Structure 1
Amino acid sequence: MLPFVAIALAVVGGVVTLELVSYRSLERIPSVATEEFPEIDRELLGKFSSFDPELGWVPQSNREKQKDTGDHLPGEEVRSVVTYSTDEYASRVCPAKDRDEESAVTVSTYGDSYCFCREVDNDETFQHYLAQELDTHVGNYGGGNYGLDQALMRLKRTYPDDPTDYVFMVVTASSIARILSVWKHYQEFGNILAVKPRYVLEDDRLERIESPIDEKEELLDLESKSDFLHEFDFHYDHWFEPHLASIPYTADFLEKRDHLRYAGATAGKELERRAGRSILGIDFDQAQTRSALRLERPRVLYHERLFETHEPLFDALIEEFVDYADERDFEPVFVMVQQLRYATYESEHGPIYGDLMTRLDDRYDELKTIDMATHLSPDDGDVESLYVERGEGGHYSPETNAEIAAVLADAIEVKTAAK
């Protein structure tokens, strides 16, 4: 009898251990959710310096931060830190040119982290290169994880204090998901501090739904806001619940081969970090990025469907941008840029936003549109070469930002010549 008890205990112990290892591995995979309300402690909350009750979060004025992008392997002596600086307007600084009221043309940009130009230094942003080309200051009001909705809200709040002749609205296709979001965690698992307002369509008119968080401390008890979050965040039903891991976690972990690949690459990076040197012949960072891109493919397809089902809301936000331009008398330009996860898919299947740009061109004579994918086409087809090689993954390199600046400069020259 005792041997059977020992065997049973060993089997149970093995199952429990396997479940624990699987759960811990799933926690580190960005395409899997492991719990609805992860704990937010006060230390994490204290680091959330960009909290804003009106916009959810926003870059603060007169700040300088240095960010380790991870752009290196242990032991490699290459650049690993970029500097993000903001001025008194909370715009990212433009080293090429200070503000000058006498400038022949003034320019500002709003949008997401691709507008902010994450993962590159202040003098490597497309705004810096554009300012050099035009000999004028270029405001950078990009916000990390912003969608078209938050970018529009920030424009309306900021523009009266920093008016410009041209406003470029620069976003990625993920805006279609972000405009349907209230709590980012339901669509970008682990992004637990990002609670935001959004717009909904009521009788074909935009209605703003304010953020349920007025004070930063309220983030410590998000579960008390669950009814509101479930009602107004589209992704709770359509993305979060279908991707929420459950017992047995081992089955969820083994469901996809890239779960194992991602976990293995992550473990390899941790070993390199502890050893303080790279393991010869293995690039764990690249392996992790490749696995993550493959695991992100369902999200890309999900966003592609959202452009089909929620086109009216996206179009209404563009119309609001055009109307505000008319009200404030500036030239509006809408620019679609690509995240790496979209670029690799769209190089084979075409844009996930379908005929959006053509539709906008046909509808608004006063709106200039730029589909940056049509201007950034490497001769060898290697779209990954447009982005930083390592780091957080998928923001444009300094060289690509210079190309973007040239495209935007041409758009301004065309408009100016037409006046």
Structure 2
Amino acid sequence: MLPFVALAVVIVGLAIALEVVSYKSLERIPAVATEEFPEIDRELLGKFSSFDPELGWVPQPNQEKQKDTGDHLPGEEVRTTVTYSTDEYGSRVCPAKSRDETGADDVTVSTYGDSYCFCREVDDDGTFQHYMAEELDTHVANYGGGNYGLDQALLRMKRQYPEEPTDYVFVVVTASSIARILSVWKHYQEFGNILAVKPRYTLEDGDLKLIDSPVDEKEELLDLESKADFLRTNDFHYDHWFKPHYASVPYTADFLDSSEYLRYAAITGCKELERRTGRSIPGVDFDAAQTESALRMEQPRVRYHERLFETHEPLFDALIGEFVDYADEQDFKPVFVMVQQLRYAKYESEHGPIYGDLVDRLGEKYDALETVDMARHLDPDDDIESLYVERGEGGHYSPETNREIAEVLAEIVEEDQ
């Protein structure tokens, strides 16, 4: 009898150990949610300097930050950083030409959008706004915001434009905006993005209705669970993405469900080993391997976003209509630009744009609107990844690509002069 009891204890112990290992591994996998309300401590909250009660978050004025590009091996000294600088308006600095250098008769240009508009992962003089300013010999304002949706871009434009009216306004976003405009709390669709609570619009009887952010003070982020009913009700992704990807007991079953989870966990473990020992494992680039694994796990999200364009395109269309109406009211030329994240570019190279012919249809529907599908203007030479930075946070355009984008956008302005 005792041997059977001992065997049972061993089996139970192994099962518990495997559950713990599985849970810890799932915590690191970006495609899996392990908590609905992860703890937000005051230290993390203190680092959230961009909080904004109206927009959720916004780049702050007169800031200079340096970010490690990740272009080094574990244990090596940081070799490369990028610098993000903002001016007194909260616009990213445009080294080619400042506002003070722009004459009264010069054409004026401003840009709004997400991190591809802000041009993350490149220096201030590597943004497409910098290259546009060189081409047009005028200041080009950059009001891009990391992780912004089309909704936040428009709200920021309406707040900022009266202080800085321009002849042209470019709204530059990626296809992920279709998901972002349905979001109230980013964690429900981008697991771990727990500080990002935002407003959103809904479409009721053909009219846009703004749902304000439920967080008026930054301190309220410490107790988001008290707002659970609001977040679950108003965030489309809670039912359609978060719950299907929420890991639960037994965690071992969820962990072993995907070979990609196992591969990602192994790669992450090797990176941790390199970090602790201060030595790289020869013959393997684990940063690149981890990026490739993460991109493979992103494909279901891309397909999910593709379905969102089929079901929620009217909301996207209505937001563009709001942009056009505001342009008519304020008398500027509106330009809408769709750019590609790396995860979409790889998928779309085989399946076509996840937004279909949306950009063309918007251009046909709104006579005053100029539209640009940037994927049609960039030549990757059969290597999509060549358009993007090689290392770092991943997936943003390189300075060379930003220069190409600037040429396309500057031509729109030059043709009208």
TM normalised by structure 2 equals: 0.98
Q: Tell me the equivalent position of 1:47.
A: 47
Q: Tell me the equivalent position of 2:304.
A: 302
The AA in structure 2 aligned to 1:51 is F
Matched, 1:23 2:15: no
- My pick for the range that moved more, 354-363 or 76-85, is 76-85
Q: Tell me the equivalent position of 1:389.
A: 390
Matched, 1:290 2:292: yes
1:67-126 CA-to-partner distances (Å, cap 9, x unmatched) read: 112122235677431111100000010111011242521111100001001111111111
- Aligned residues: CA RMSD: 1.1
Please list every run of 5 or more consecutive structure 1 residues that lacks an aligned counterpart in the other structure: none
Matched, 1:401 2:402: yes
Q: Tell me the equivalent position of 1:95.
A: 95
Q: Tell me the equivalent position of 2:280.
A: 278
CA contact (8 A) 1:103 1:136 kept: no
Q: Tell me the equivalent position of 2:58.
A: 58
- My pick for the range that moved more, 169-178 or 102-111, is 102-111
1:235-266 CA-to-partner distances (Å, cap 9, x unmatched) read: 00000000101111111111111111111111
Q: In structure 2, how many angstroms separate the alpha carbons of the residues matched to 1:268 and 1:80?
A: 23
Q: Tell me the equivalent position of 1:119.
A: 121
Name the SS of the counterpart of 2:371 in structure 1.
strand
Name the SS of the counterpart of 2:335 in structure 1.
strand
Matched, 1:336 2:341: no
CA contact (8 A) 1:120 1:397 kept: yes
The AA in structure 1 aligned to 2:415 is V
Q: In structure 1, how many angstroms separate the alpha carbons of the residues matched to 2:95 and 2:17?
A: 54
Q: Tell me the equivalent position of 1:73.
A: 73
Q: Tell me the equivalent position of 1:184.
A: 186
Q: In structure 1, how many angstroms separate the alpha carbons of the residues matched to 2:28 and 2:43?
A: 20
Q: Tell me the equivalent position of 2:372.
A: 370
Q: In structure 1, how many angstroms separate the alpha carbons of the residues matched to 2:300 and 2:317?
A: 24
Residue 163 (structure 1) shift: 1.1
Q: In structure 2, how many angstroms separate the alpha carbons of the residues matched to 1:200 and 1:340?
A: 28
Q: In structure 1, how many angstroms separate the alpha carbons of the residues matched to 2:302 and 2:52?
A: 29
Name the SS of the counterpart of 1:310 in structure 2.
helix
Q: What is the 5 A alignment of 1:247-286?
A: 247-286=249-288
CA contact (8 A) 2:75 2:275 kept: no
Query: Measured at CA, do residues 122 and 79 of structure 1 come closer, stay the same or move farther in structure 2, by a change above 3 Å?
Result: farther
Q: In structure 1, how many angstroms separate the alpha carbons of the residues matched to 2:278 and 2:324?
A: 53
CA contact (8 A) 1:213 1:219 kept: yes
Matched, 1:243 2:245: yes
Q: In structure 1, how many angstroms separate the alpha carbons of the residues matched to 2:190 and 2:181?
A: 13
Q: In structure 2, how many angstroms separate the alpha carbons of the residues matched to 1:126 and 1:269?
A: 34
The AA in structure 2 aligned to 1:396 is Y
Q: What is the 5 A alignment of 1:100-179?
A: 100-179=102-181
CA contact (8 A) 2:68 2:78 kept: no
Residue 201 (structure 1) shift: 0.8
1:178-199 CA-to-partner distances (Å, cap 9, x unmatched) read: 0000000000000000000000
- My pick for the range that moved more, 280-289 or 270-279, is 270-279
Q: In structure 1, how many angstroms separate the alpha carbons of the residues matched to 2:273 and 2:77?
A: 19
Query: Measured at CA, do residues 226 and 285 of structure 1 come closer, stay the same or move farther in structure 2, by a change above 3 Å?
Result: same
CA contact (8 A) 1:124 1:398 kept: yes
Residue 9 (structure 1) shift: 1.4
* Sequence identity (%): 79
Name the SS of the counterpart of 2:8 in structure 1.
helix
Matched, 1:202 2:174: no
Residue 8 (structure 1) shift: 1.4
Q: In structure 2, how many angstroms separate the alpha carbons of the residues matched to 1:329 and 1:389?
A: 40
Q: In structure 2, how many angstroms separate the alpha carbons of the residues matched to 1:310 and 1:87?
A: 36
| Superposition misfits of 4+ residues, deviation over 6 angstroms | none
CA contact (8 A) 1:72 1:390 kept: no
Name the SS of the counterpart of 2:74 in structure 1.
coil
Q: In structure 2, how many angstroms separate the alpha carbons of the residues matched to 1:307 and 1:51?
A: 29
The AA in structure 2 aligned to 1:56 is G
The AA in structure 2 aligned to 1:142 is G
The AA in structure 1 aligned to 2:42 is R
Query: Measured at CA, do residues 78 and 408 of structure 1 come closer, stay the same or move farther in structure 2, by a change above 3 Å?
Result: farther
Q: In structure 1, how many angstroms separate the alpha carbons of the residues matched to 2:311 and 2:276?
A: 47
Q: Tell me the equivalent position of 1:213.
A: 215
In the alignment of these two chains, the number of paired residues is 415
- My pick for the range that moved more, 229-238 or 67-76, is 67-76
Please list every run of 5 or more consecutive structure 2 residues that lacks an aligned counterpart in the other structure: none
CA contact (8 A) 1:169 1:334 kept: yes
Name the SS of the counterpart of 1:345 in structure 2.
helix
1:15-53 CA-to-partner distances (Å, cap 9, x unmatched) read: 111111111111111111111101111110111000000
